[in-house]
Structure 1
Amino acid sequence: MMLDDPEMREMAQDELREAKEKSEQLEQQLQVLLLQKILMTNVTPSSKSEPEPAATKRRCSRAICSVCTAVMPKPAAGG
């Protein structure tokens, strides 16, 4: 068997150790990137009187567009 050979065992242990170190480094990088994303999504605009960005404005009306109806948000109850 491969692990019966001392050189192969040592080489496998070295590779495993290196892979664990790399995994820990990647996990730390991922945590930093996720934290940055969370912080960026929690940023609130300084003024609520600014116009709504074009990307978030509704382009369809339920009354005239049947293509979008299935994915459009439903109106709040009572409103």
Structure 2
Amino acid sequence: MQSLLQNGEKITPKQWKAEIQSLQSEYDSIGKEQSKTATELAYAEVVGYNKKNLERELQNESRQHNRQQSRTKRREEEI
């Protein structure tokens, strides 16, 4: 199409339609790829959030366990 325009030739309606169809199919494939990429990015964000949340929960459980152990030791020492 660009070669026709550069040479100054006229473009027929059939050529325009063919170009439009070509560009539309390219646009559709790019749109699908973008949608797939956006979905994968969302999955990555969820996994990252879940990882941080799990680390936080494990740290809280560890602190709680350590507190219980220290409380138990204090009670045993008092007795």
The TM-score with structure 1 as length reference comes to 0.53
Q: 1:47 aligns to what SS in structure 2?
A: helix
Deviation at 1:49, TM superposition (A): 5.3
Q: Which runs of 5+ in 2 are unaligned?
A: 1-27
Determine what percentage of the aligned residue pairs are the same residue. 12
1:25-51: CA deviations, max 9, x gaps?
111111000000011111211321578
Whether 1:47 and 2:71 are equivalent positions in the alignment is no
> Which has the larger share of helix?
2
- The number of aligned residues is 48
Aligned residue in 1 for 2:54? 30
Letter aligned with residue 17 of structure 1: L
Letter aligned with residue 48 of structure 1: E
Deviation at 1:7, TM superposition (A): 1.1
* RMSD of Structure 2 on Structure 1 (CA): 2.1
Letter aligned with residue 30 of structure 1: L
The runs of 4+ residues in structure 1 deviating greater than 2 Å are none
| Structure number with higher relative contact order (C-alpha < 8 Å, ≥ 6 residues apart) | 2
Cα separation, 2, equivalents of 1:10 and 1:41 = 46
Cα separation, 1, equivalents of 2:46 and 2:76 = 44
Whether 1:19 and 2:43 are equivalent positions in the alignment is yes
Aligned residue in 2 for 1:7? 31
